[in-house]
């Protein structure tokens, strides 16, 4: 049996001022539909970091276009696809 390879991506998100708690909650709710592994609130230029692990390229496209872009209060994103990952336990 062929084991599917996983690919990782990180999406940096900017939220509209005052809507960050709503955006955070809505991103958290997307975990039931998309392969979200982690959501972190940040200090700095971006408000949130979302880590996803996907087995198909469509997973990322669907998450960004159908999931994130439907959330009111998100004013910008930057997506970073990981080339190689080393996990520590």
Full pLDDT tens readout for the chain, 89 residues: 345 677 899 999 999 999 999 999 999 999 999 999 999 999 999 999 999 998 887 888 999 999 999 999 999 999 999 988 888 88
Q: Is 40 helix (H, G, I), strand (E, B) or coil?
A: strand
Tokens of 68: 């994130």
- Domain ranges across the chain: 15-81
**Exposed, middle or buried: residue 17 (CB in 10 Å: 0-12, 13-18, 19+)?**
exposed
The residues, ordered by sequence, that sit 6+ positions from 75 with a Cβ below 8 Å of its Cβ are 14, 15, 16
Give the Cα separation of 42 and 78 in Å (integer).
14
Fold of 15-81: Alpha-Beta Plaits (3.30.70)
Q: In terms of pTM, does the model score above 0.85?
A: yes
């Amino acid at each position: 049996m062929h084991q599917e390879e996983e690919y990782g991506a990180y999406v940096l998100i900017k939220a509209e001022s005052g809507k960050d708690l709503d955006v955070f909650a809505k991103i958290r709710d997307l975990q039931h539909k998309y392969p979200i592994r982690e959501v972190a609130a940040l200090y700095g230029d971006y408000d949130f970091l979302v880590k996803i692990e996907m087995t198909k390229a469509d997973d990322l496209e669907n998450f960004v276009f159908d999931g994130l872009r439907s959330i009111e209060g998100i004013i910008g994103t930057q997506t970073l696809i990981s080339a190689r990952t080393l996990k520590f336990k």
